[in-house]
Structure 1
């Protein structure tokens, strides 16, 4: 569904009860530097233990990782293919399996998990999901979006619980698996300029959504790493050439294919951030 990322800007973070993936102030300090910023720097620079070198790369998610508008999952322009090729070249994987589906919602991840076939060797599982659940909020009021999000966040927590349970399934992953998951980028550069006129409040809601994803992954310690797509994308969205926007810089390259999907250059940018997370798992780590 092409409403994917635009929907994220209409999110609200509901008041939350404690959940199994609570992070932030409710979580103990993390020591493994799980959050990647721009592919080369981390929020927490402390080293983490190296994950076992992967035999295969398994991709789950929606149109971003399915590359629905950029030629499909096996084209050289696809972010998923770029990352898989990098893992194969740099870290020894020999297989790339893409189960992502354009338009997928959180509820669709169960079918994607079931599609993963058992195979020997450690696995790297990449996930990018959530935006299509939020798309109904696009033309709703902020209040309606806040109410709707209260139903979506429990689903988000439940789906991630299912993902981590699957990764621990020794039939599907007899030699273990680690998750690389992603935050959402802003197609509109966190800017209120026309013609989109998205409010600062809605931009703040996008940040809250991303923070929830970070806290879910953070709670898993060495079993997961989250890469932050948001900061590296700023200044490359629809307002890349609007001087009034806070992240404007002269000469920035536009990364948007349409309202919410990344173009070829954008897929390069997304892959660079993911590859930074890959290196934190397998190279820039404690052996």
Structure 2
């Protein structure tokens, strides 16, 4: 008869003089009851502090070491990266044969290299297997199985090389990145009116207007055309318990846009053509 969630509602009923209250019984272990309590408290009512959420995540890592970082993050209200860092600092050992249970309830290997190698052997032995059959047998996702098959068809290693391992083709990319970074640092902040005007000019370009990919790009650019005041209003209304997640996603989105800028510059350099826009417009595109 231990209250897992709703202690304040129970106390309010007692103060009203009620003799009964509707409840939903939970049948499970103390560890599972704690997980339910944490998940309920981050979903409604007063939000848990970051320290409380990290403490809860550490406790769940010990009681449910077979859960993935994302699974624990969804329950404790912190990011998967924070869970991974807490896991590295704890002495909790993984159960099972190097696998974890994800948010969707599926078991996946911690070391994806073994799954990819097994998938490559299955594809070699029986090329007619479907992606789902390969994924099920190797303990990987169908998309990973697809990537392995595509790599093998191109004559590449089924295991993607770690970042930083490919140096031969990186010199040109580094040069473009350095030039783009230097240009962005030297450029002044472009007023919102000029950015809106640039997007308006892009909207009138038939090369973008008359295909789905171009229209998708225009929609993405248009979403970011907010004034400083509008962005500040958004920032001030981010709930405290969501701050870390919003900040992480914002950094990831910024990184994606930076990567797009670098790759577009690289594509332009490799094509050997020169942009027809003026230096002022080049600076503006860099800011976008």
Query: Do these two structures clear the TM 0.5 threshold for a shared fold by scoring above it?
Result: no
Q: Report the structure, 1 or 2, having the larger strand content.
A: 1
TM (norm. structure 1) is: 0.21
Q: Report the structure, 1 or 2, having the larger helix content.
A: 2
Computing the radius of gyration from Cα coordinates, the structure with the larger value is: 2
TM (norm. structure 2) is: 0.21
